[in-house]
Structure 1
């Protein structure tokens, strides 16, 4: 038992680097993969066992990719993290993991990511090779709109999963609408997330839309929420979806967003954290609508 405890204590900082104890980010990164897969499955009338297998594979891929990006983020942001109350206990910022050890760990994780990419079809590799996630940590230093880039990075699984089934070609109208909506969604939830650290970020020099929007933050968040709903409606019209999609992906998401705005207190760290986590249900509702269309087709 003592050996197990010792091994766990040695591994614990690295598990924290991977954010194993905070799985919400995995789900948020996974949902666009699930959307792209389900859209492709509907078009190709993919058999259900194959669909389930790919669903699990993309979840595993999202887990590894998100863990890798979190490690890189902590390496790059270690000086910022030491100045932010919520982040100063992270493994690198607190000194529990050296920068050299973290870099080696990151490279090992990247080896796994590249190995998983090698299993993708040629069409999916065309999309997966774009390393959007690894640029995001730098943008917090250069622009007030890092969430705009994150909106692309977090949702890039959409074309990757589609291409894994259908090849590199995508239906630009449908994908453009859904990608625009998911981009609005990411800016929405990550701006709420950034509100947790808004005072510390201002002192540390970390840029974000939460700081940029200032007193206009609620109207801007409502604008992005409206952008998500309008894009979901456009996706349904362009793809010729039916009742299942509109009930879950449009109706369900709209009601959930109304609840979010009635519940959130942007001045409360706890409230912002809870609403951020609740956005997992938005991704799930969109998937439920798409899955209903797949089953009914």
Structure 2
């Protein structure tokens, strides 16, 4: 921790999280850099991996997604979400100081130095690499390629009206990983799932960006929430509709059964409810809707996984 900086939490962290209550004081800023106090991030990185594994299991006629792969994806998602967030905070430390929600983050608040954050970033990346090396050669190659959108995303908010599109390329990458880990190649269902997941990411991150509209306008930070303006609900609805349609195409290509389609229907209903409840410039409500995407994603995974199990029992 830098120069005796005050230990402060982050505005949108989970209230009463164990990081703030139980973690050693010196470790807290680093855990916050890794977003451990905001687990929604690694959930949203993990869920496309699990969807992809479940879709691959359906295509293979397996009884359940590969448990080893699911566990590796969990560890990798936490590590790489932390590494990506640390990298993003290093790149955005000056911008974060200008936004109310982010100025208490460890770097702009002085709790962690840039050098210490870089060392922490390298350590997390090494954990992610160790996880990646457990997969087949094709999955390793696909995983390494994910670093391209991750590397460029922090700078897109300075030049693109919709930087969420680049975030989607990065956060949806897991939709490719489960399939390539199972088959050693990429096929149409994985690519369709990836495209649908990109639309999902753009939708939910547009909701997330509603929190910062006022500060972003002052700081000159671009976001899809600012770009869509009064068309916010229609735009998010379009993203979510495209998401559901593309995932449906992926499921059809993988041969998903009735229970999987039920899971998709419930997932779509959850997304529709988010759009219905979304309000412009309601930051608190937007954060709750954004976080609810973990439940939406788990519903879809449960449907896909249960479908493979039930069809295997009935075979």
What is the TM-score of this pair, normalised by structure 2?
0.87
- Aligned with residue 200 of structure 1, among 178, 199, 215: 215
Contact 2:274 2:289 in 1 (8 A): yes
Query: Hey, what does 1:44 align to over in structure 2?
Result: 60
Q: Determine if the alignment matches structure 1 residue 241 to structure 2 residue 256.
A: yes
- Aligned with residue 140 of structure 1, among 157, 181, 184: 157
Once residues 33 and 52 of structure 1 are traced to their aligned partners in structure 2, the CA distance between those partners, rounded to angstroms, is: 12
Contact 1:192 1:266 in 2 (8 A): no
Query: Hey, what does 2:90 align to over in structure 1?
Result: 75
Change in CA separation of 1:7 and 1:217 when aligned onto 2, cut-off 3 Å: closer
Contact 2:56 2:254 in 1 (8 A): no
Shift of 1:262: 2.4
RMSD: 1.8
**Superposition pairs of residues 136-175 of structure 1, within 5 angstroms:** 136-167=153-184, 169-172=185-188, 174-175=189-190
Once residues 176 and 289 of structure 1 are traced to their aligned partners in structure 2, the CA distance between those partners, rounded to angstroms, is: 20
Q: Secondary structure at the match of 1:9?
A: coil
Shift of 1:212: 1.0
Compare the two structures and name the one with the higher helix fraction.
1
Shift of 1:194: 0.6
Once residues 255 and 68 of structure 2 are traced to their aligned partners in structure 1, the CA distance between those partners, rounded to angstroms, is: 27
Once residues 235 and 113 of structure 1 are traced to their aligned partners in structure 2, the CA distance between those partners, rounded to angstroms, is: 27
Shift of 1:45: 4.2
**Superposition pairs of residues 60-71 of structure 1, within 5 angstroms:** 60-71=75-86
Query: Hey, what does 2:43 align to over in structure 1?
Result: 27
Once residues 45 and 230 of structure 1 are traced to their aligned partners in structure 2, the CA distance between those partners, rounded to angstroms, is: 23
List runs of 5+ in structure 2 lacking aligned partners: 1-20
List runs of 5+ in structure 1 lacking aligned partners: none
Q: Secondary structure at the match of 1:10?
A: coil
Q: Secondary structure at the match of 2:48?
A: helix
**Superposition pairs of residues 284-295 of structure 1, within 5 angstroms:** 284-295=298-309
Shift of 1:281: 1.8
Once residues 293 and 47 of structure 1 are traced to their aligned partners in structure 2, the CA distance between those partners, rounded to angstroms, is: 9
More off after superposition, 191-200 vs 149-158:
149-158
Contact 1:84 1:204 in 2 (8 A): yes
Change in CA separation of 1:163 and 1:176 when aligned onto 2, cut-off 3 Å: closer
Deviations along 1:88-123, whole A, 9 cap, x unmatched? 100001011111111111122222222222222111
Once residues 138 and 89 of structure 1 are traced to their aligned partners in structure 2, the CA distance between those partners, rounded to angstroms, is: 21
- Aligned with residue 264 of structure 1, among 258, 263, 278: 278
For this pair of structures, how many residues does the alignment match?
289
